[in-house]
Structure formats: structure tokens, C-alpha cells
Structure 1
Amino acid sequence: MSKYTSFPDPMEDQNPFQDPAVTQHSSNTEYATLDLYNPFEGTAEPPPPYEATSPSVPSMPAQTPPSRTTPTQPNNYGSYNTHNSQPAVNATTTELMKKQEELERKARELERRERELQSHSLGSGASRQNNWPPLPSFCPVGPCFYQDINVEISQRFQRIVTLMYYFWMFSTCTLAFNLISSLAMFCIDTSVGVGFGLAILWALLFTPCSFLCWYRPAYKAFRSDSSFNFFIFFFIFFAQVVVYIIMTIGIPGWGFSGWIVSLAALKQSIPVGAIMMMNAILFTAQAAVGVFMLKKVHGMYRQTDASFQKAQAEFATGVMSNQAVRQAAASAATNAAQGAFTASR
């Protein structure tokens, strides 16, 4: 059927843009383009030839390249400044670490107190290690007492017990200084050897006796609200205050570097007299603080439930609970019964 048509053979590769009509029209530059040709005009003249004009490019003003921000320039991203916030973050971290260390220390202290209280709640049979006096491990004599004000004393009495302990230490140091001043006086006047010997005796006697006779009763009184220990403390500490006043006076030959002995020593040697005057000032302060502590403890005693009746009951209970006293009473009762039986026969 291909002989009746003018279509090309489909096997032939023909380019439609190579058609002679298209190529002839494209190559002819004497005809204007369709947008310039108006067929409704009455002129018979052909349209003007088409002239290809190059589009004019408007001239652009010279522009400077945009400036780039260097890394050293600070960037403002608002009110939040990372440079200023870094020290604040460091300070907050340090404060949190300090608080954490303080909380850990308090936790360890509470754990230690809990263990101590648990051991105390077991009664007298509970094992607790003595810690006073604090002697080195190589010493053949160990501590004799257990003392811990923060554990055994209630919160409102801890301050007064601590003051009593410091006052005992101050009295011990005053007696040691009295020994030094008496030695200095003995070096310039050998006739006061008796006073120097008594100063040694007072230092060796009052140091342990004051701890056992009035500090430990006060400690036990505030620890267990013991009326009996309160009365022991008042009786002995009042006598101790009287002795402090005698020390302050400084009677010659009694071994105390008080005011009388110090004023007399100034006539013999000014340096020795000055040392003894310092000792007299310490004795005066000791007597004044002793009177103050006596009144202070008495005021604290009135805030407790202690009374004379309770002291009598505690004394009776303590005496009857003592094994030696009970054995002595039993033996005395037995002997009395045997004597009565023998006499009746």
C-alpha cells in the first residue's frame, strides 16, 4: 500500500527540521518576524527586513563584598551571654560540691551517733571503749572514762557541759603556772621552799580530784538528769570556789602565788614579781569564772526535774544495787540474828 501514499518509509531516518520549507524560511532574513508584520495594513510593500539586535544589559553599580564576621568578634544572640554565664556556672558547681561534702560529713556524724546511742541503749552490759584521757597507744595505762559530749549530752545542755570542761582545763593550766611562779620565787629566795613544795602538791592533787569530784558529777548529772550527782557537784564545787578565793588572796607559805605573795615578791625581784602578778590575775579570773559557773549550773538545774527527794531515792537505789553493800548488809543481818539467837539461849 505504500505505492499509493507519499509517506516515507518508516525505516528511513529523517529529520523533520531538515525540511526545505523550514530551512528556506529560517535562512531568509529579509522577512520580518510575525510579531512585526501586520497583514491588515493596506500597503503592498514588503515588511522591513529583520535586524537582530543584541539586548542591552543595564550596567550594575560596583558593589563592595559583604564584610564577614571574624571569629574574634563577639556575636550578640540576645540577652543570654555565654561568656558571662560561664563564671556563674562554675560558682554554682563549686557551691553544690561544698554542700554535698557538708551533707556527707553530717551523714557520717549521724551514723556515728546512731551507733553510739544503740550501744548505750543496750545497758551496762554493752561494750564501749573508753576514750578519756586521750593517751597514746604506746602508753601502758589506757583511758579510764568514756566521754563524748555531742553523743551523751542533750542538745540544750551541751554548751554548759563544754564550758565546764574548758573551765577545768583552765584551772589545770593555772595550777601549772602557779608551779612555775613558785619555782621562780624559790630561785631567788630559798626560804620559801615550803611554798614551792605545796605548789607541787596542789598541782598533783587538784588536777585529778577536780575532774573526778566536780566535773564528772556535773557531766553525769546533765547526761542522765541525776539529782544525786547535781547535789554532789554543788557541794564539792562550792568548796572548790572557796579554795579559788584563797588562791587569789595568796597567803604566804600556802603555795599559792596570790596578790599578797606577788606584791611581796616585787620588792625582791621585779621580773619574778611580774610573773607572780600574772599568776594572781589568773587566780582572780578563775575565782570569778567559778562563781559564774556555779550560778549558771544552778540555773540549769532548776530547769530540769531534779529535786532533793529524787536525790534521796537515787542514793537509796544506788546503795542497794551495789553488790558489796548488799553483801555487807546481809552479813551484818546474819551476825545480828546469830547474836540474838545466842543471847536468847
Structure 2
Amino acid sequence: MSGIDTNPFSAATGVNPFEDPSVTQVMNSTVTSGQQQGPFPNETAGFTSPAVLQPTTEPAPKEVAAAAQADLLRRQEELEKKAAELERREEEINDRNRTQPGVKENNWPPLPRFCPVRPCFYQNFSEEIPPEHQRVCKMMYYLCMLNSLTLFLNVLACLALFTTASTYGQDFGLSLVWFLLFTPCSFLCWYRPMYKAFRTDSSFSFFFFFFVFFVQVAIFIIQSVGIPGWGNSGWLTTFSAMSSDKVVGGVLMVVAVLFTLCAVLSVVLLKMVHGSYRRTGASFHKAQQEFSQEVLSNKNVQNAASSAAQSALHQNN
């Protein structure tokens, strides 16, 4: 019965599990510690040599300065590229504005691009003036330029006259005043209104031009006469100076001829402008209407009228 009652789950006595041939084969395997396999293929788990920290070396001051200089040069080059790009875009915008309708860049007086003062007016005869009036406008422009040149030569002639006798100092001073005064006024007061009148067919601009240009014709005649002491190298001043100094008298005669030419041309051009004015259909009634519209649409006039009305209301209250 002892053989039958043996417990099959009881551990066998006298049997060492580590003496099993399969276990001893694994334990006796000759794998060195440097060649133990890691968790990944072709990777060893051990290290054959200890880790060594490399010593850090600080860069020399010369190397730091060279690196800083190189960085500054790089930044400067980038800034120059950006500036060139901005300038190119600005030129493109200006070219686009010139080609766009309604956007016109001022072109008079024709000044160089490096000049800090920019042109103040836009002038284009072929674009803004009708073909039948372009000839008259151009001749009026040439008369305005001739007047400026004559006034400048008049200053030089009076200066030459002043060198011969100190009594002509008043003429030299007045000639300088006339040059500084009449040169811009002739352009602004009668040439630009005439240009605007033909450009916009404005009756008011025509009447303003006629009123101012009548005064200009009278001034041309007085300048050509050359009353002594008035600062004009006209014929009377020329004859009086010719007796004392022939060279100075010759210079004064050239200016007197130019003043006379300006006076003759001004009378001829006044008749031509008047003939063109009659063909445009302008009238005094239209000039009154344009003047009233410009006055009523002017913001300064509106503000002045409103302030005057408010002050009158306050006084009545």
C-alpha cells in the first residue's frame, strides 16, 4: 500500500534541480562580460573602456573680436540690402503714380534730383492745353522767361552804372528789388492764370489775367522808357550814361532794347489772348458764376461766415 499512497505533488527527495543537464549547460556558457548582448541586435551591453570628459577651452580674445566683426559686417550687408529694396520699391511706386491717370508729378521749375527744393507746378502744353491755344501759351511762357532774363541783366547794368558814379546807387538798389519782386510775380500773377484759363476754359481766370496783364504792359513801357532814379536801364538812362561812359552806355542800351521788345510782345500777345478768349465762349456772366461758386465752396469763407453769424446771434441774445 505504501507504493500506492505516494503523493505525486510532493518534492522528490535527494534530487538537486541544478544538476539537470540543460541547466548546467546554460550556466557553463562562456560569454564574457564585455560581449554580453544588449536588448537590441548587434549591440553590446557592456563598455570596454571608462567614459572620459573632454576638457573645455575658452576662445581667445582675438577670435571673439573677429567673430563679432564678422557678425557686424553680416548685419550691415543685410541692412544695405533692405535699404536698396526699399529704394527700389519707392521708385516703382513713383513710376506707377506717374503712369496713373489723375496723378501728376510737379515738373516746374525743372530742378535737379539732388536739389532739396522740389518743383512747385505741373506744366505740359501738349497734354493740358488744347492744340489751337498751345502756340499762344508757349509764346506767353517765352515772354515770361524773357522778362526774368531782362530784369537780371538790368541788375548787372545798374551795377555797372553804379561803378561809374555813386549817385546811381538808388538805381542799383531798385533794380535788385524789381528783379526779386517781378520775377515770381510775373509767373504767378499773369502767366499761371492765363495757363489755367486755357486749360480749364475758366472765364474768371481770363478776367483776372486781363486785369493783371494790363498793369504788366504799363510796367514794360515804363521800364523801356527808363526814367532816371527808378532802377530801369531804359532809353533815357542809356542816353544820359552814354555821354560819360560808352561801354556802360552800350550795356544799358542792350537792356533797353530787351525792355522795348518785352513791351511790344506784350501788346501783341494781349491781342492774341483776347482773340482766343472770344472764341472760347467765355463771358463776364460766367466769370461771376465761377467766382461765386469758388467763394461759396471755399472752407475758409464758410468758416468765416459761420463764425460771423454766430457772433451776430450772440450779440442779439
From 117, 126, 130, the equivalent of 1:150 is 126
d(CA) in 2 for partners of 1:149 and 1:321? 29
| CA radius of gyration, larger in | 1
Q: Which residue type is aligned with residue 242 of structure 1?
A: A
The alpha carbon displacement at 1:117 in A equals 9.6
Aligned with 2:233: secondary structure? coil
Contact 2:98 2:105 in 1 (8 A): no
Q: Which residue type is aligned with residue 142 of structure 1?
A: R
| Corresponding residue of 1:208 | 184
| Corresponding residue of 1:190 | 166
Contact 1:195 1:255 in 2 (8 A): yes
Aligned: 1:218 with 2:200: no
Q: Which has the higher contact order (CA 8 A, sep 6+)?
A: 2
d(CA) in 2 for partners of 1:241 and 1:157? 21
The alpha carbon displacement at 1:180 in A equals 1.2
d(CA) in 2 for partners of 1:117 and 1:289? 37
d(CA) in 2 for partners of 1:284 and 1:116? 41
| Corresponding residue of 2:63 | none
Count of residue pairs the alignment pairs up: 221
d(CA) in 1 for partners of 2:117 and 2:305? 35
Aligned: 1:235 with 2:211: yes
Aligned: 1:130 with 2:130: no
Q: Which residue type is aligned with residue 332 of structure 1?
A: A
| Corresponding residue of 2:239 | 263
Q: Deviations over 1:294-344 (max 9, x none)?
A: 11100110001110010010001111111111111111111112222x2xx
| Corresponding residue of 2:143 | 167
d(CA) in 2 for partners of 1:118 and 1:156? 26
Q: Which residue type is aligned with residue 203 of structure 2?
A: S
What does 1:1-345 correspond to in 2, within 5 Å?
119-120=101-102, 127-340=103-316, 342=317
Aligned with 1:268: secondary structure? coil
Q: Deviations over 1:36-60 (max 9, x none)?
A: xxxxxxxxxxxxxxxxxxxxxxxxx
Q: Deviations over 1:163-204 (max 9, x none)?
A: 110111111111111111111101111111010011011111
Which 4+ residue blocks in structure 1 deviate beyond 6 angstroms?
Answer: 115-118
CA RMSD of aligned residues (A): 1.4
d(CA) in 2 for partners of 1:118 and 1:140? 25
Normalising by structure 1, report the TM-score: 0.62
The alpha carbon displacement at 1:119 in A equals 2.0
Q: Which residue type is aligned with residue 284 of structure 1?
A: T
Structure 2 segments unaligned to the other structure (5+ residues)? 1-96
**Identity over aligned residues, as a percent?**
52
d(CA) in 1 for partners of 2:135 and 2:272? 11
Contact 1:116 1:151 in 2 (8 A): no
d(CA) in 2 for partners of 1:116 and 1:147? 14
Is the deviation greater in 231-240 or in 133-142? 133-142
d(CA) in 1 for partners of 2:107 and 2:258? 30
